[in-house]
Amino acid sequence: MTRNTASEVFETLRQKVALSLVAVLGFFWLLFFVWNRFQERHFIEERLRHQALGIYHYIVLSREWISKQNGLYIKEGDKFSLLTPSDFTRRLVLYSKNSLPFSIKIAADNAKLPAHLPDPFEAEAIDLMKKGIRKELWRLEKKDAHLYFHYTAPLRFVEDCAGCHQKDKKPLGIVGCISISLPAEKIFKELGRHSRNHFMFFAITLIMAVSVLWVMLRRLVILPLRQLDQVSRAVEQGRFDVAVEIDASSEWRRVAASFNQMVKALASQQQRLEHEVEKAVKELRTAYRELQKASEARTTFFANVTHDLKTPITAIKGAVDLIEKKQGEDVGHYIEIIRRNTAKLHKMVQNLIACTKMESGAMEFRREEADLTEIVGNAVVMLQPLAWEQKVEIDYQLPEEAVLVEADPSMLEQAVSNVVANAISFSPRGERVKISFEPGGDDAIILSVEDRGPGIPKEEREKVFAKFYRDPRGGARDGMGLGLCIAKSVVEAHDGSIWIEAPSSGGTVVKIRLPRLKELG
């Protein structure tokens, strides 16, 4: 982690911590503010309800007392007039409109006077109270741009009322409602002022709480983490002589002690690893020298063995030639057997010699301008007897123009012969081996040798070029698994490449890619 990246990480961390503090505290602050405002509003509504309820009980008690007295006589000027509960309520309604801070209304179903007809809210309240759903009903409403608390409670017709209403054969029970309107604008304005004060108070406390928590987090978390990051980057760069000192709290002191102990353990482990690596390097050097000695001894052994084999084989071959000249037709079959096996043994020795020289780097290539079609044609002619014996047809498609390459003709012919011989050996009787040329791009030519044999699994295609690899399906001409190994070495020595593909029709295709000769002469 670079210094700029570390700074960006800590800046992002600070932003996340600050936003988290504001979000968490702000959420709980807002929740408490809404809850507090709801409680204050509920308290105000309950307070207004109790006031309206007190007025309602005063009116009901007064009406009941007047009714029990069968009315009251009051003096008005020089006369006395009878005051009934209805007259009392009507006078109180008129008086409240002019002198009291609240208003009263008697609303009843089927009222004869328009003043007593219920409005929609009062009609709803009467209906709910008659059905027994509500005992009282209230709401806040606006009238003439002012806010009022509208309260309703039932107006009942009882037996005591019958004395004054003998003509009205009303059933006992709820006949209407007593409606009381209390001014609420002033008290709700006071609630709004309190809410603004509470908002300011909560905002200030939120800012103070976030600031205090931020200072604490910066001292107890951010700064210790920054110190740990700086020391960690030093350790990442290979410096183990550093230590972190954090005195923010006892917990951080324990963390710093554990971290420093870990750095010491890493330094000790690094020293042990360096010692082990140095020891392993020495052992590898010793093993490499021993391997070189073994390789040299193996190369010397193969060179001696092949040299010793070559001499008697050459003598046997010469002797067979002399016997063939001096003997009659009756020994010709045996002489052919000797010749064939001698040629096979000679081929095996030649492959061993070639492999040994290539492995040791002693193989000398005689580079000259050569026609690849002629080299392939010579290999085909040489292998034609083998094809006849195997009952396999060789389909050699000669290109129209010469394909010039810079190569050692004899070595390249041996490589092509090994590839074609393998294709003949693995082809079933009656099948054909197809040899063709195709452009390789970038001034190169590709020689393809295709057979109809059992094919080579994908995981085995690289192994067939290994030395002494013997295909479990059989068919190797030299019996030692050196043919394709030599072919690969020869092709690569000519700056080419060789690989195996599987055609869709089955079998195997060995492809040899060689660069064309760029300059003739």
Closest listed residue to residue 444, CA positions, set 485, 489, 494: 494
CA distance 427 to 390: 8
Phi, psi of 169 (to 5 degrees): -85, 70
Residue pair 140/52 in contact (Cβ under 8 Å)? The answer is: no
pTM, two decimals, is 0.40
Backbone φ, ψ for residue 99 (5° rounding): -120, -25
Q: Is the dihedral of CA 379, 381, 383, 387 positive or negative?
A: positive
Tens digits of pLDDT across the chain (521 residues):
455 555 566 567 667 777 777 788 778 878 887 888 888 888 888 888 898 899 888 888 888 888 777 777 777 777 877 777 777 877 777 777 766 778 888 888 777 778 788 888 888 988 898 888 888 998 988 888 888 898 999 988 765 555 555 555 556 678 888 888 888 888 888 877 877 887 888 788 878 877 877 777 777 777 777 777 777 777 777 777 777 777 667 777 777 777 777 877 877 887 888 888 888 888 888 888 888 876 775 666 566 556 556 666 666 676 677 666 665 555 565 566 666 666 666 666 666 666 666 666 666 677 888 888 888 888 888 888 888 988 889 888 878 788 888 888 888 888 888 888 888 888 888 888 899 888 887 788 888 898 888 888 877 777 777 766 666 555 444 456 677 888 888 888 888 888 888 887 778 888 888 998 875 44
Q: Are 316 and 284 in contact (CB under 8 A)?
A: no
Q: Say which DSSP state 239 is in.
A: -
Domain spans of the chain, in order of start:
3-190, 245-363, 364-515
Listed in order, strand segments (DSSP E) in 340-496 are 368-371, 393-396, 404-407, 432-439, 444-451
Residues 6+ apart with CB under 8 A from 104: 55, 59, 89, 92, 93, 96, 178, 179, 180
Domain covering 245-363, topology: Helix Hairpins (1.10.287)
Report the distance separating Cα 146 and Cα 102, nearest Å. Answer: 13
Contacts of 91 (CB under 8 A, 6+ apart): 83
Q: Tokens at residue 343, please?
A: 């040629």
The tokens for 349 are 């020795």
CATH 3.30.70.270 fits 364-515, yes or no: no
CA–CA distance from 256 to each of 99, 208, 234 (Å)? Answer: 80, 31, 15
